[in-house]
Amino acid sequence: MDTTSRPEVTHLPRHRRTIAITGSGSGIGAAVSRRFERSGARVIGIDLHDAPVTADLSGPEGRAQALSTVTELCGSRLDGLVVCAGLGPQTRPTELIASVNFFGALDVLDGMLRLLVEGEAPAAVAVCSNAASLTPPHVDLLQLLLDGDEDKASACAAGIDGSTVYGTSKLALTRALRRRAGKWGKAGVRLNAVAPGPVETPLLAGGLADPVLGPLIEALPVPLGRRASAEEIAGAIGFLLDPANGYVHGSVLFVDGGSDALLRPDTL
C-alpha cells in the first residue's frame, strides 16, 4: 500500500497534559475544565473565587498574580491555555468589559507564552464572540484597544453602551490574536479562537434579563434554531487544542449555529 502521501501526526503528548483555564468557575470555562479533567489532563483553573488560582483579571495586579501562581503550580511548563474569562454587555461600569475581555485576555495569553513554549504540542485558545463581526464597532475604542492604551480605552469605554463595548472588545481581541500568528508560530505554539453565538450560560442569562439587551439577543437569527450548550463550545475548544490538529493556527472557528453565515454569507 502506498503511504508516501499520508501526513504524519507528530508531537503527540507523551505525558499528562497541563491546561490552564481562565474563567473556570462557570459557563464555558467550567465546561472546558470538566472536559479536560475527564480526559486525564491536569487543569489549573483561574477565576475570581472557587478556583486553584484566584485572581481578578480586570487589572494588571490581578493578571500578574495569576501568571505568578500558574507558573508556580505548573512548574514553568504548560501544554495548553484556554482564555474563557469574560464579562457580558450588561456589565456596569462598561469599562470593566474592555478591561477583562481584551486586556485581561491578552495579558494572560502574552504572559503565559513562555510557559507554553516549554510544553509539549502546546496550543492556546481564546473565547471571542460572533459579536465581533455582527456588532458595529466603536472606531476610537477599537484603535485604543489595539494600541494597548488601557487607561484611555477605559475612559473611552465609560461613555459607550455595553453592547458596543462588548462587540468592540471581542473584535479587538480577534484581530490581536490573528496578528500574533507569526510570532507564536515561530515560537512553536499554536494560537486560535472560537467565536460562539448565544450559549446557555450565566453570562447569557444576565443579558436576557436586561430590558434593553434581552429583546436584541432574542431577535438574533440562528439557523439551527436553538442556543448552544457550554459543552458544545468546549468540544470546539478541545478540537483546537488537540495535537492531532497541529496545522490549525491563527484561525477563528465560529460556533454560532450559523448566524454569522446567515447574516454575512459573502464575507470570509
Distance CA 103, CA 91 (A): 16
Across the range 228-237, mean pLDDT stands at 98
Tens digits of residue pLDDT in 147-180:
999 999 999 999 999 999 999 999 999 999 999 9
Q: What is the mean pLDDT of residues 183-211?
A: 97
Q: Decide if 229 is inside a domain.
A: yes
Q: Can you name the residues that pair with 123 across neighbouring β-strands? A: 80, 190
State the burial class of residue 228 (Cβ atoms within 10 Å of its Cβ: 0-12, 13-18, 19+): buried
Amino acid letter, 217: I
Confidence (pLDDT) at 14: 58
C-alpha cell at 101: 475581555
Q: In this structure, is residue 158 part of a structural domain?
A: yes
- Predicted confidence at residue 268, as pLDDT, reads 85
Residue 112 lies in a domain: yes
Please provide residue 225's backbone torsions phi and psi, each rounded to the nearest 5 degrees.
Answer: 80, 20
Long-range contacts of 137-145 (CB under 8 A, 24+ apart): 137/164, 137/167, 137/168, 137/171, 138/164, 138/165, 138/168, 141/98, 141/165, 141/168, 142/168, 142/171, 142/172, 145/98, 145/102, 145/103, 145/169, 145/172, 145/176
- Provide the 3-class DSSP secondary structure of residue 171: helix
Backbone angles phi, psi at 253, to 5 degrees: -100, 115
The closest alpha carbon to 133, from 252, 1, 2, 5, belongs to 252
Provide the whole-model pTM.
0.93
The answer to whether residue 104 is domain-embedded is yes
- Say whether 247 is catalytic: no
Q: What is the number of structural domains in the chain?
A: 1
116-146 residue pLDDT tens: 999 999 999 999 999 999 999 999 999 999 9
Average pLDDT over residues 35-41: 97
Give the bridge partners for 81, in sequence order. 20, 124
Cα–Cα distance, 61 to 131 (Å, whole number): 28
Largest CA distance in the chain: 66
Please give the mean pLDDT across all residues of the chain.
94
Q: Is 1 a member of any domain? A: no
Q: Is residue 148 part of a domain?
A: yes
Instruction: Considering the candidates 36, 102, 103, 166, report the single residue annotated as catalytic.
Output: 166
CATH of the domain at 233: 3.40.50.720
Is 9 inside any structural domain? Answer: no
Q: Is 208 exposed, middle or buried (0-12, 13-18, 19+ CB in 10 A)?
A: middle
Percent of the chain residues past pLDDT 70, beyond the cut: 95
Domain enclosing residue 65, as ranges: 18-259
Helix/strand/coil for 201: coil
The answer to whether residue 10 scores a pLDDT higher than 50 is: no
pLDDT over threshold 60, residue 13: no
Decide if pLDDT at 7 tops 90.
Answer: no
Report the chain's terminal Cα–Cα distance, integer Å. 39
- Please give the average per-residue pLDDT across 64-88, as a whole number: 98
